Chains A and B, each alone.
Chain A
Amino acid sequence: MRDLGLRFVRHNLFWPTLALVLLLLLNLTKTPDFFSLRLQDGHLYGSLIDILRNSAPTLLIALGMTLVIATRGIDLSVGAVAAISGAVACTYMAGSPDESTAGRAVIGMTMAVAVAVLLGVWNGFLVSVLGIQPIIATLVLMTAGRGLAMLITDGQITTVNNSLFAKVSTGFVLGLPIAILIALAVFAITAVLTRRTALGMLIEAVGINPEASRLAGVRARTITWTVYVFVAFCAGIAGLMIASNTSAADANAAGLFIELDAILAVVIGGTSLAGGRFSLTGTLIGAMFIQTLATTIPTMGIPAETNYLFKAVVVIVVCLLQSPKARAVLSVRRSSPLLTKGSAA
Chain B
Amino acid sequence: MTTVISPPESPAGSPAPRASRGFTFPTRFLPVIATIALFIAMFGVGSFRYEGFSSPQTLLSVLVDNSHLIVLAVGMTFVILTGGIDLSVGSVVALSTMIAAETLRAGWAAPLVIVTVLLTGSVLGLLMGLVIHYFEIQPFIVTLAGMFLARGLCYVISLESIPIKNETFTSFASGTIEIGDYFITPSVIVALVVLVIAAVVLHMTRFGRTVYAVGGSEQSALLMGLAVARTKVGVYVISGFCSALAGLLFSIYTLSGYNLGAVGMELDAIAAVVIGGTLLTGGSGLVLGSAVGVLVLGLIQSFISFDGTLSSWWTKITIGVLLLVFVLIQRLFTRRTT
Contacts and interface: CB of A to CB of B under 8 A. Distances in A.
B281 A133 contact: yes
Q: What is the interface residue range for chain B against chain A?
A: 35 or more
Contacts of B146: 312
Interface centre among A146, A310, A315 (most CB of B within 10 A): A315
A316 B131 contact: yes
B135 A144 contact: no
A130 interface: yes
Given A315-B144, A315-B145, A316-B145, A147 B316 contact: yes
B92 to A, nearest CB: 13
A326 B135 contact: yes
B136 A147 contact: no
Contact of B317 (A133, A136, A148, A263): A148
Nearest to A155: B311
A264 B145 CA distance: 10
B140 A306 contact: no
Given A155-B313, A273-B140, A133 B280 contact: yes
A269 interface: no
Contacts of B280: 133, 135-136
A312 to B, nearest CB: 4
Given A140-B323, A151-B317, A324-B136, A312 B328 contact: no
B323 A143 contact: yes
Contacts, number: 133
Interface string B110-134: 0000000000000000000001001
B331 A143 contact: no
B156 A145 contact: no
Contacts of A251: 313
Q: Do most interface residues of chain A lie in helix, strand or loop, or is the interface mixed? A: helix
B152 A267 contact: no
B137 A323 contact: yes
Interface in A306-345: 306-313, 315-316, 319-320, 322-326
Interface in B247-290: 259, 267, 270-271, 274, 280-281
Nearest to A256: B263
Contacts of A309: 148-149, 152-153, 155-156
A273 B311 contact: no
Q: Do most interface residues of chain B lie in helix, strand or loop, or is the interface mixed? A: helix
Contacts of B145: 311-312, 315-316, 319
A308 B144 contact: no
A324 B85 CA distance: 21
Given A274-B138, A311-B152, A303 B159 contact: yes
Contact of B152 (A155, A306, A325): A306
B137 A308 contact: no
A320 B146 CA distance: 14
A173 to B, nearest CB: 35
Given A308-B148, A319-B145, 10 more contacts: A139-B270, A147-B315, A154-B311, A273-B138, A273-B140, A303-B155, A308-B149, A316-B131, A322-B137, A326-B135
17 contacts: A131-B335, A132-B328, A140-B323, A143-B323, A147-B313, A150-B312, A309-B149, A309-B152, A311-B148, A311-B152, A315-B148, A316-B145, A319-B135, A319-B137, A319-B141, A320-B137, A322-B137
Interface of A: 74, 130-133, 135-137, 139-148, 150-151, 154-155, 251, 260, 263-264, 267, 273-274, 303, 305-313, 315-316, 319-320, 322-326
Interface of B: 85, 131, 134-138, 140-142, 144-149, 151-153, 155-156, 159, 259, 267, 270-271, 274, 280-281, 311-317, 319-321, 323-324, 327-328, 331, 335
